């Protein structure tokens, strides 16, 4: 049998249900792998070993008793340490909350648990998910699963690394500007930011202006669809989720076919931005794959799609409202990078914030217009492979021998856009660069058409060769 750490959840479920694999055996394998790799990769803040094994034994007993089994019975998963887990500490990546233990699960966690999934641990995140690297005074740095000299990305870096390294097949992450898709691309896994409301969000303070998402992260499209199937649905305290049309995401993510007749619009980078030669090469090869599947390709104009200034006004104003008092009272417990971001929002006026929200509305309308002549948009997820491990958010970075100022606007110009508009976006492995690290391609479909996004992703995934496995 293929090594357990290489198998997706869909295969593990089949093995468990056919009694060829015990939930206890699976959990022990996952915990052993976590123990082996945690000192190298540093992707966990909390491991729930005793609790997880006790629940695995209960899952095994339920099978022996012939009890009804949930969709994810016995499957281990991880949760980013921004997302509430009842009885398991949730630190938000900061020393200030190192002993914080929520009383309730977030809806996504509760729904996985209700279907029999078992929490293995809480994965690393920078302070309050505040940057595209995963480091914090609480735990240090999380390394890339392919090369420990490179960043894991962020802010869901721990989730991406634990998934890529085969510690568990499923992870709950979050995405406020690319925080699922950036580390997924850095580590060669699948990361989706679904349409607003598909997965309810219980921790957003601004329910109506929210641009953050609780998301699945997996190694296969089928596992992503399975997670989305479990996590989605009405939640009375999230207005975007109430009455939302449900779809069979699990079935959509298993779709086998082609893209005949599909109109695909593509763009390498927004106007004024660039991609590395490696990313261009792997992206162009992916376009040829799409054409070979029957898609009709057409470039689209990306003028006026530099959204980072708008995203920063909206996002950092929210952060300042939430965290300024913490900075003033406990400033020495936070990193200089976190403090600098919070304090920088002091330059934004109420008028600037509202104008940014107006622009956000216009971006949504413009994106809707692009789909008048397209079924699918494709872009690179990030413009180059994972940056060096010690890179700071305010450092310049190198791409093809040239230095670029502004990591958010030059490294991942395509991710923040879809947090602003709410459209569903998924990143998939797209090949390997010359440095041996993975590159990513991002698919985007019409607002609310997450099932169509998964079908397109499934077709592409089936037609592309695996990029291999991380060195661990």
Taken in order of first residue, the domains within the chain and their CATH numbers are 11-463 (3.90.1300.10)
Map residue 229 onto helix, strand or coil. helix
Sign of the torsion formed by the C-alpha atoms of 17, 19, 20 and 21:
positive
Instruction: Please give the pLDDT value at position 178.
Output: 98
What separation, in Å, do the N-terminal and C-terminal C-alpha atoms of the chain show? 19
Residue 165: CB partners within 8 Å, gap ≥ 6? Answer: 5, 33, 37, 41, 43, 145, 470, 472
**Strand partners of residue 319:** none
Residue 303's pLDDT is what?
85
- Is 341 in contact with 130 (CB distance < 8 Å)? yes
pLDDT per residue over 54-111, tens digit each?
999 999 999 999 999 999 999 999 999 999 999 999 999 999 999 999 999 999 999 9
The residues, any chain, with a CB within 8 Å of residue 45's CB and separated by 6 or more, are 81, 89, 91, 93, 121, 122, 123, 124, 125, 138, 139, 158
pTM (2 decimals)? 0.98
Rounded CA separation 227/216 (Å): 6
Longest dimension (CA), the chain: 63
Please report, for the chain, how many H helices and E strands are present, in that order: 15, 15
In this predicted structure, what is the pLDDT of residue 190? 98
Residues of the chain where predicted confidence (pLDDT) is lower than 50: none
- CA angle 402/403/408 to nearest 5° reads 125
- What's the confidence (pLDDT) of residue 471? 76
Residue labelled with tokens 């802010």: 155
CB 196 within 8 A of CB 213: yes
pLDDT in tens, 9-37: 999 999 999 999 999 999 999 999 999 99
Q: What is the pLDDT of residue 1?
A: 59
Residue 169 · residue 12 · CB < 8 Å: yes
DSSP 8-class letter at 115? T
Q: Burial, 148: exposed, middle or buried (Cβ in 10 Å; 0-12, 13-18, 19+)?
A: middle
| Strands 118-123 vs 76-80: parallel, antiparallel or unpaired | parallel
- What pLDDT score was predicted for residue 466? 77
Q: How many CB atoms lie within 10 A of CB 33?
A: 20
H or E element that contains 241? none
Helix (H, G, I), strand (E, B) or coil at 332: helix
């Amino acid at each position: 049998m293929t090594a357990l750490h290489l198998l997706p959840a869909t295969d593990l479920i089949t093995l468990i249900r056919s009694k060829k694999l015990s939930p206890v055996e699976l959990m022990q394998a996952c915990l052993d792998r976590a123990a082996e790799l945690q000192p190298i990769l540093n992707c966990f803040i909390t491991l729930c070993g005793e609790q997880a094994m006790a629940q695995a034994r209960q899952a095994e007993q339920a099978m022996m008793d012939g009890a009804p089994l949930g969709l994810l019975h016995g499957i281990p998963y991880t949760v980013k340490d921004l997302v509430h887990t009842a009885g398991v500490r949730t630190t938000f990546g900061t020393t200030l909350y190192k002993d914080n233990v929520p009383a309730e699960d977030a809806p996504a966690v509760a729904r996985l648990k209700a279907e029999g999934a078992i929490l293995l641990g809480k994965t690393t995140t920078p302070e309050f998910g505040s940057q595209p690297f995963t480091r914090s005074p609480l735990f240090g740095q999380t390394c890339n699963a392919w090369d420990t000299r490179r960043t894991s990305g962020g802010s869901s870096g721990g989730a991406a690394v634990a998934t890529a390294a085969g510690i568990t097949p499923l992870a709950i992450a979050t995405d406020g500007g690319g925080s699922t898709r950036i580390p997924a691309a850095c580590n060669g896994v699948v990361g989706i930011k679904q349409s607003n409301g598909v997965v309810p969000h219980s921790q957003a303070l601004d329910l109506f202006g929210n641009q953050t998402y609780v998301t699945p992260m997996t190694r296969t499209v089928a596992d992503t669809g399975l997670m989305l199937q479990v996590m989605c649905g009405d939640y009375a305290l999230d207005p975007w989720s109430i009455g939302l049309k449900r779809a069979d995401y699990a079935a959509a993510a298993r779709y086998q076919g082609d893209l005949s007749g599909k109109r695909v619009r593509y763009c390498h980078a927004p106007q004024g931005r660039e991609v590395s030669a490696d990313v261009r090469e792997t992206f162009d090869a992916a376009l040829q794959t799409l054409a070979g599947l029957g898609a009709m390709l057409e470039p689209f104009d990306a003028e006026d799609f530099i959204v980072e200034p708008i995203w920063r006004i909206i996002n950092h104003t929210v952060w300042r409202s939430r965290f300024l008092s913490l900075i003033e009272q406990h400033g020495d417990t936070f990193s200089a990078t976190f403090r600098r971001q919070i304090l920088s929002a002091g330059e934004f006026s109420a008028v600037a914030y509202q104008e940014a929200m107006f622009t956000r509305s216009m971006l949504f309308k413009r994106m809707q217009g692009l789909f008048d002549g397209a079924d699918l948009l494709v872009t690179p997820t990030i413009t180059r492979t994972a940056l060096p491990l010690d890179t700071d958010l305010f450092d310049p970075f190198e791409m093809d021998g040239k230095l670029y100022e502004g990591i958010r606007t030059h490294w991942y110009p395509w991710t923040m856009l879809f947090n602003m508009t709410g459209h569903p976006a998924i990143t998939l492995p797209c090949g390997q660069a010359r440095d041996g690290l993975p590159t990513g391609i991002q698919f985007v479909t019409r607002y609310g058409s997450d099932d169509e996004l998964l079908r397109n992703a499934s077709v592409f995934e089936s037609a592309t060769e695996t990029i291999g496995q991380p060195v661990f």
